[in-house]
Structure 1
């Protein structure tokens, strides 16, 4: 519970971790003006977009199957198609369900990379869309890894709720840092806080 609400201000470590990783990924995505972000961009991304970067390709099941590590290449979340990057984030029934729940709480169609290219990078709308998209990709990839290592899959609605909490937390931190001046804009546009 927050200090303002009479609590000790202690945050849940797992939520804080996801929010922190999401913030770092978002900084990389928006190419924040920080030295280490510039270093990552010059050494690893080499001017590429964050979404296009794969260090030798993500180790999807289809890729690992080609190395002989699996008996099949079916997606571990839906078990219907080969698990490729495109399938995992855009075609998988499980991922599409998460997207649907996200669309319900942001009250708009799910953001796409091409949509982000057409919005000013300095606008609150762009920052919120990039945050939702980055958080979604991290959440799906993390859930896929949990399914692979711990043989458990959370319900899509629970993942969307976790995403909502992380995005809300990040928007609140952003608006608090700005002295609340962008708070109304963020709350009005995305309807999260």
Structure 2
């Protein structure tokens, strides 16, 4: 089926950067297609989008749109029968039978021949939203998808929150690794909480960045809007660096000293702040930025 092949190509491109991918995806495609507030990436589900698109034809028949195609359908197939209860004959055209199947999937959205999900009437967008599975919002949405966050950092953090990265704990369970010990500090099992919170190497990076920024990256304190952006962006930058160092240590047996990693993260944060500030800031924020050697 063409649509399934399109979905496969999109899925493979996400995980491999090409049209072929022969391993199990890190996150289910149904989750990837959820909106970002519900923990997905907001990628359109081609199969559901196709249903919503054909729903436009279904709506034309419901509303008896003044179109030759609708009049032809009424004359050849419906013959003044009720569209909401109509069942196509087994020998009818393949396309027509599929339009009828899609009508049955959208039936609940039409009341008295009107689309109830949108007061403006049916649209492909409203149809797609209506058939999407409902998922509750995730608590980490604003942290991951803050507009200041660097995209590759946000993506890795998204995988962290979905517990989709191949930590040594997971690899050890399926027999790929002989040991589940953390490669960065060798002082604990490499779980998500250990790697990004309790690992001695990670603590040094996060701790020094907090001292430099004079902010707590995991705090609920009422910081200014600018400082909140920086906190989120800095946390993601640290987690990304930790994961990259973990991979380099495991694959190449090389580990950058924490001070060097901190220096690189500081340089990245400094550049990102300078890049993202587009409007005047308060005197309090100006004073704070001057402590970071950022002059506006």
The question of a shared fold, defined as TM-score above 0.5 by the shorter chain, is answered with yes
Residue 160 (str. 1) matches residue 262 (str. 2): yes
Map of 2:40 onto structure 1: 44
Which stretch shows the higher mean deviation, 70-79 or 182-191?
182-191
Residue 72 (str. 1) matches residue 72 (str. 2): no
Map of 1:188 onto structure 2: 287
What is the alpha-carbon distance in structure 2 between the residues aligned to residue 84 and residue 43 of structure 1?
Answer: 21
Unmatched tracts of structure 1, length 5 or more: 1-37
What is the alpha-carbon distance in structure 1 between the residues aligned to residue 188 and residue 208 of structure 2?
Answer: 22
Kindly indicate whether the alpha-carbon contact (under 8 Å) linking 2:241 and 2:261 is maintained by their aligned counterparts in 1. Answer: yes
3-state SS of paired residue (2:40):
helix
**Which segments of structure 1 move beyond 6 Å, counting only runs of 4 or more?**
none
What is the alpha-carbon distance in structure 2 between the residues aligned to residue 84 and residue 170 of structure 1?
Answer: 30
In the alignment, which of 199, 214, 238 is matched to residue 107 of structure 1? 214
Greater relative contact order (CA < 8 Å, ≥ 6 in sequence): 1
Q: Can you list the C-alpha shifts for 1:4-43, whole angstroms capped at 9, x where unaligned?
A: xxxxxxxxxxxxxxxxxxxxxxxxxxxxxxxxxx944457
Q: How many residues were matched structurally? A: 148
Map of 1:141 onto structure 2: 243
Alpha-carbon deviation of 1:147? 1.1
Q: Can you list the C-alpha shifts for 1:96-123, whole angstroms capped at 9, x where unaligned?
A: 1112321332234x410xx24x547x71
Alpha-carbon deviation of 1:128? 1.2
Q: Can you list the C-alpha shifts for 1:67-102, whole angstroms capped at 9, x where unaligned?
A: 111001000101110000100111111111112321
Map of 1:89 onto structure 2: 196
Alpha-carbon deviation of 1:184? 5.8
TM-score (norm 1): 0.66
TM-score (norm 2): 0.45
Q: CA RMSD in A?
A: 2.6
User: Max radius of gyration: which structure?
Assistant: 2
Unmatched tracts of structure 2, length 5 or more: 1-33, 42-134, 145-156
The structure with the largest helix share of the pair is 1
